[in-house]
Amino acid sequence: MNHGFSANSATVRPTEKVLNDGFFTSLSVEEFSSGYGLPAEMTNQVIEQYLLSAMDRINTALQAFKSASDANGFNKLEDVVSSQLGGISAKVIQYKQAVYSAAKADLLRADISMDRKPNAENAANSADEMMSHYERQSTRAIANIQGQRMIGIHSI
């Protein structure tokens, strides 16, 4: 797996949204793939499965936040009071970062376990660092959504 950017103009990613639960924002294979430098040879189905898994995990981690928001009359994440950045709710931006970063960490983890090349140990060390980076980004975004500081938030 190329852990950085993988440009291949022949790769077509679906533009349809990966539907979420109605409260949390639906996401996009195309946005995830281009924003997180996924390799062109990775299939859309694999990417979607990793997104769905990460969405479920992040949604579960944010269940108390969702319940509190619903109790305050907010039926969608984008309606929760938040600053707007580029016309988009900061909570939505943070949610995308939480899910996309968690999914990227999972993809890196899967790649490490499948890499059997002679230099796999060096690649695994690099991937471990990147995996930790993406897990921290995800955890930080979850904390931000909940209005909490990173201290006291455990990694999901």
* Residue-wise pLDDT tens digits, 41-89: 899 999 999 999 999 999 999 999 999 999 999 999 999 999 999 999 9
pLDDT of residue 11: 80
Distances (CA, A) of 78 to 25, 47, 48, 52, 137: 8, 24, 22, 20, 20
The Cα–Cα gap between 62 and 147 comes to 12
Q: Does residue 141 lie in a domain region?
A: yes
Report residue 145's pLDDT band, with 50, 70 and 90 as the boundaries: very high
Instruction: Please check the confidence at residue 7 and state whether its pLDDT lies above 60.
Output: no
CA angle 14, 136, 68 (to 5 degrees): 80
Q: Does residue 121 lie in a domain region?
A: yes
Residue 72, domain extent: 17-145
8 A C-beta contact, residue 134 and residue 104 = yes
Kindly state the DSSP code that residue 24 receives in the 8-state scheme.
S
Q: Does residue 3 lie in a domain region?
A: no
Q: Does residue 156 lie in a domain region?
A: no
Dihedrals φ, ψ of 17, to 5°? Answer: -80, 150
Number of domains in the chain: 1
Going along 10-55, which residue ranges are E strands?
Answer: 17-18, 27-28
Q: Does residue 154 lie in a domain region?
A: no
Q: Does residue 1 lie in a domain region?
A: no
Q: Does residue 54 lie in a domain region?
A: yes
Q: Which residue in 118, 145, 113, 138 sits closest to 128, CA to CA? A: 113
Kindly state the DSSP code that residue 23 receives in the 8-state scheme.
S
Q: Does residue 7 lie in a domain region?
A: no
